[in-house]
A and B are shown apart, each in its own frame.
Chain A
Amino acid sequence: NAGVTQTPKFQVLKTGQSMTLQCAQDMNHEYMSWYRQDPGMGLRLIHYSVGAGITDQGEVPNGYNVSRSTTEDFPLRLLSAAPSQTSVYFCASADTVGYGYTFGSGTRLTVV
């Protein structure tokens, strides 16, 4: 039982490049979310999903896309990377609302 797996762990992008951060969970959780963590600002919600085929925007969705074609996977796409997207990104999943989330170990992204 691996929990929530995020890849890659580290990534450096040039401004304007695109990439996909991968997130997979093996707990059959319905809820999945993406957060970014910046110093002194806690975690801010980017996008979330309450089940396969259903996604919605969080607090800071601009510049990011998501899709949820399966229960297990919830990739986050950066469309055209900007230095302001330099951050640590966390994927998390939960059985449903009102249950604790399981977090991945994070992806540290630097945009130069």
Chain B
Amino acid sequence: SQQGEEDPQALSIQEGENATMNCSYKTSINNLQWYRQNSGRGLVHLILIRSNEREKHSGRLRVTLDTSKKSSSLLITASRAADTASYFCATDQFNDYKLSFGAGTTVTVRA
């Protein structure tokens, strides 16, 4: 079974608005990553946050991690049409080399 679960499944926003999506996971993790997938393409790594970190920024991306709630959120600020994609969280666990993905959130940014 998959470790991560994203919420919502789909999100539609206006250009310039912020987009927030959440990821919940079942068991303790070592690292949590977020990836973007444009339609018909491979996944692109966006950001990685370690279990001892609470927040991380990269450009217009902000990721938070709450290990007590086993959840993470990805915020995209000032969204653009180019942000239209599916976003996946992925986790790995201590002493385990497998990277497990959730089912993803599909984000549509309307012009």
Using a CB–CB cutoff of 8 Å, the interface residues on chain A facing chain B are 4, 31, 33, 35, 40-45, 48, 50, 56, 58-59, 90, 92, 94, 97-106
Contacts and interface: CB of A to CB of B under 8 A. Distances in A.
B27 interface: no
Contact of A103 (B43, B92, B97, B100): B43
Given A41-B103, A42-B88, A98-B30, A48 B97 contact: yes
A98 B97 contact: no
A43 B97 contact: no
B44 A50 contact: no
A97 B41 contact: no
Contacts of B97: 31, 48, 50, 56, 97
Nearest to A43: B101
B100 A59 contact: yes
Contacts of B48: 98-100
A48 B2 contact: no
Interface residues of B, number: 24
B92 A97 contact: yes
A40 B101 CA distance: 12
B57 interface: no
Contacts of A58: 98
Point out which of B30, B31, B97 has the most chain A C-beta atoms below 10 A from its C-beta.
Answer: B97
B99 interface: yes
A43 B100 CA distance: 8
Contact of B43 (A59, A90, A98, A99): A90
Given A92-B99, A97-B92, A97-B99, 16 more contacts: A40-B103, A41-B2, A42-B103, A43-B101, A44-B101, A48-B97, A50-B97, A59-B2, A97-B30, A98-B50, A99-B48, A101-B45, A103-B43, A105-B41, A106-B41, A106-B42
Question: Which 6 A-B pairs rank lowest in CB-CB distance, beginning with the nearest?
Answer: A100-B45, A103-B42, A42-B103, A43-B101, A103-B43, A42-B101
Given A92-B43, A103-B44, A33 B99 contact: yes
Nearest to B43: A103
Contacts of B44: 103
